[in-house]
Amino acid sequence: MNKSELRKLIRQQRRSLSKAQRHNASRGLLRQLRSTPEYLAAKRVAVYLTNDGEIDTQWLIQDLQQRCKEIYLPVLHPLRKGHLTFIRYQKNTVMSRNRFGISEPSFRHNKALSARFIRLICLPLVAFDERGNRLGMGGGFYDRTLAFTHKKGHLPLLVGCAYDFQRISILPAESWDIPLKLIATDTSLYRLLNVSTTG
């Protein structure tokens, strides 16, 4: 099965879940993340708003708000084509729809922050394997934005968020693909590398 066929299959599986299944999975994702010292210690956390049947982040966002973390959302960069930037998300944040119809903080009304200054970034995905390879929607936005993480040093912890059924035995990896260090699902936690717990 090629990447296109795999995307189609798993996206259909995600969208076929019932409301109750989505709700339970969202709570499960939060339980897995709260079991990690990296999540508890991080002061700045980037998370996506759920779209296209992705595992729901609503409980995660509520938990981050209760813990008084700084929450950031990905935004299509208006000047750097194919890249993302991150804008802080608060109750009064002015939102708009991007060209994909996804809600994001308005670039005009908010200050952007580079991914380099965020401690933990939660990424959506279509499929993953236990080596940390991630299959996204095919646009390459996260791979281009996070290309700097190929170099060693103090980096954001990249956490894939998914349903456990999105796990594939082996995914083909390209040289530009950004591997994940941690994958949290509704039922499991996959740790790929030893990472620092300082936030």
- Structural domain of residue 81, as residue ranges? 3-191
Q: pLDDT higher for 80 or 120?
A: 120
The predicted structure's pLDDT at residue 193: 54
Which one, of 154, 186, 183, 168, lies nearest residue 36 by Cα?
183
List, in sequence order, every residue forming a beta bridge with 104; answer none if it has no partner. Answer: 96
User: What mean pLDDT comes out for the span 148-175?
Assistant: 86
Residue 179's pLDDT is: 85
Residue 143, helix vs strand vs coil: helix
Query: Quick check: is 198 in a domain?
Result: no
Residue of 26 and 148 predicted with greater confidence = 26
Domain membership of residue 74 (yes or no) is: yes
C-alpha separations of 48 from 131, 153, 172 in Å: 22, 25, 24
Tell whether 119 is covered by a domain. Answer: yes
Location of structure tokens 């802080």: 88
User: Which tens digits make up the pLDDT trace of 47-56?
Assistant: 999 999 999 9
Extract long-range pairs of 89-95: CB within 8 Å, 24+ residues apart: 89/61
pLDDT confidence tier of residue 175, bands split at 50, 70 and 90:
confident
CATH number of the domain bearing residue 59: 3.40.50.10420
Whether 144 is covered by a domain: the verdict is: yes
**Contacts of 31-36 spanning 24+ positions with Cβ under 8 A:** 32/184, 32/185, 32/186, 32/187, 32/188, 32/189, 33/60, 33/122, 33/159, 33/184, 34/63, 35/189, 36/182, 36/184, 36/189
Q: Is residue 199 domain-resident?
A: no
pTM: 0.90
Nearest Cα to Cα of residue 169 among 135, 193, 122 = 135
Residue found under tokens 């791979």: 143
Which pLDDT tens digit goes with each residue over 105-129?
Answer: 998 888 899 999 999 999 999 999 9
Reply yes or no on whether the pLDDT at 196 is more than 50.
no
- Radius of gyration of the chain from its Cα atoms, rounded to whole angstroms: 16
Assigned domain for 127 exists:
yes
Mean pLDDT over 82-92 rounds to: 94
Is residue 197, in this structure, part of any structural domain at all?
no
Asked if 46 and 8 count as a contact pair (C-beta separation under 8 A), the reply is no
Whether 102 is in a domain gets the answer yes
How many folded domains does the chain comprise? 1
Q: Please, are residues 105 and 89 in contact by the beta-carbon 8 Å criterion? A: yes
| DSSP assigned state of 103 | E
